[in-house]
Homo-oligomer: A and B are copies of this chain.
């Protein structure tokens, strides 16, 4: 490709609101342009990288036995209603009506579509297992879209769906996909951590994210030093250390407590440790239920864990007015003790306790009245949670059950794999296979996704320096960046063109040839470093019958004879 003819040349300045290196460099070097927030054009250079990533994913998926296909982008909304995802996905879903008033969801993920397809066939145990995957444009109506390709509203995703007759069979595929994904990311030059994570609105019981460590990543996760455990903060499990369980339970008493609303003010006033306090957080879920989350004072509530425990998909904090007018309690003084007796009779209140409250006796905290506290609250004696479980946010320094210390990391999620089990096949009618005894049973599923644009941006986040991108060989848009200098000199020009022909025609190499005549050497070198192709060749008056060779990452260049080129 002659750079003079390439559409999407480098520019010197980038818009001020561009924050991340990958966004800045991909913009500056001419790989992408924004259409509207979160929607991007891939320019010819960006397209080539995107295709290389797609090809690597395709090769590994095909090798694994998965079969490529494609589903429509517009999904009939009836399918999403069958699984109730029109509610659970919430605002991220865009929908559109056609001229006949049929309504469609703009696909963000395609579980229902694939189940709907598979149930059109009368599949039997003999047809299983199979794994179908596609590359297709996905839509997420994110409230804010920032960060270039790292978080777009429209992007190409490789999404795969596997169908099995049993959990045992599924687990083999799940393990296989872990390996396939690891291979894919390795070929792309990315080191990934496989991290237990939350399944969000996808459903199912467990899932893993593939995370590339990065300070700009949105995924916070916790790992043990030896790497034997890695989990997203929304699901990370840790051991609650036992506190004063050997203490005997004292009588509960109500005391005056003229204090503010914070936990610290309670500690200061009563001179008791933070861990002995009960922390109360009141939420309202999507059904209008009030949820009182209670936890040991030295821990924090994780809302994702809480939602799983109480089976809700949206939470908001209750307002001060709701606490006063509907719960008849007092902000900063809420207590699980006796709360169900004072609330409006129309209100459904769920008390959800973190298991940490089982590690403390004689706890203290609010008394549902302003400036009144309770001492010696004991779980299952003075208050009975509706449900006890894990709703605590994991943090660095906590330990696993096996007493290994957790370290906190940040990273970019580039892929994820989900156990879906019967989540979809049980909700959607006829999502069955015929077993070998002739009976019908729902099929068992898994799903597997890689965001291509985000992966592309992650490669740039990992591989760049202050001068520009440093493409790994497998993803570089071209293999060689050939620079012609002094092209107004006919001899040099002729030689540069001959070498370009030699490389492309004879050696079938993929070459970007900077053949611009009116551009200075300095600008060409700067552009070359910015674009980031691994190998730079220069032909100029000075190089004579040789060619200057330099790798993008190295500072040294050397002069090569033409014959050596074929070895590149």
Contacts and interface: CB of A to CB of B under 8 A. Distances in A.
Nearest to A136: B137
Query: Most chain-B CB neighbours within 10 Å: which of A36, A39, A51?
Result: A36
A52 B151 CA distance: 32
Contacts of A91: 99
A211 interface: no
Contacts of A137: 73, 136-137
A102 B154 CA distance: 14
Contacts of A96: 94-96, 106
Interface stretch (A125-133, A258-266, A338-346, A480-488): A125-133
Interface stretch (A115-123, A188-196, A352-360): A115-123
Contacts of A127: 4-5, 7, 9
Given A43-B69, A73-B73, A137-B73, A36 B102 contact: yes
- 6 interchain residue pairs of minimum CB distance: A39-B72, A44-B67, A96-B96, A42-B70, A35-B72, A7-B130
A405 interface: no
Contact of A8 (B72, B102, B121, B143): B121
Q: Which of A6, A39, A48, A153 has the most CB of B within 10 A?
A: A39
Given A8-B69, A41-B72, A96-B106, 8 more contacts: A5-B130, A7-B127, A11-B121, A73-B154, A94-B98, A99-B141, A99-B143, A137-B137
Interface residues of A, number: 61
A370 interface: no
Contacts of A70: 41-42, 47, 50
A71 interface: yes
Nearest to A100: B143
Nearest to A5: B130
Contacts of A98: 94, 141, 153
Nearest to A11: B121
A68 interface: yes
Contacts of A33: 117, 120
Contacts of A51: 68
A42 B69 contact: yes
Nearest to A143: B99
Contacts of A36: 72, 76, 102, 104
A438 interface: no
Contacts of A8: 69, 121
B72 A47 contact: no
A15 to B, nearest CB: 11
A89 interface: no
Given A95-B96, A96-B95, A143-B99, A126 B71 contact: no
A41 B69 CA distance: 7
A161 to B, nearest CB: 10
11 contacts: A1-B67, A7-B118, A7-B132, A8-B121, A35-B76, A40-B72, A44-B69, A74-B139, A98-B141, A98-B153, A136-B137
Per assembly, the copies of the chain total 2
A154 B137 CA distance: 13
Contacts of A153: 98
A65 interface: yes
A309 interface: no
A333 to B, nearest CB: 37
A68 B94 contact: no
Given A36-B102, A96-B95, A41 B71 contact: yes
Interface in A123-178: 126-127, 130, 132, 136-137, 139, 141, 143, 153-154
A73 to B, nearest CB: 6
Name the residue in A4, A91, A121 with the highest tally of chain B Cβ atoms < 10 Å from its Cβ.
A121
Nearest to A1: B67
A113 interface: yes
Interface in A12-52: 33, 35-36, 39-44, 46-48, 50-51
Residue of A91, A102, A139 with most chain B CB atoms under a 10 A cut-off: A139
Contacts of A113: 35, 41
Nearest to A71: B41
A239 B100 CA distance: 43
Contacts of A99: 91, 141, 143
Nearest to A122: B11
A121 B1 CA distance: 19
Contact of A4 (B48, B118, B126): B126
Contacts of A106: 96
Contacts of A11: 121
Contacts of A118: 7
A1 to B, nearest CB: 8
A35 B71 contact: yes
Nearest to A155: B72
Contact of A47 (B69, B141, B518): B69
Given A35-B76, A35-B113, A116-B35, A69 B7 contact: yes
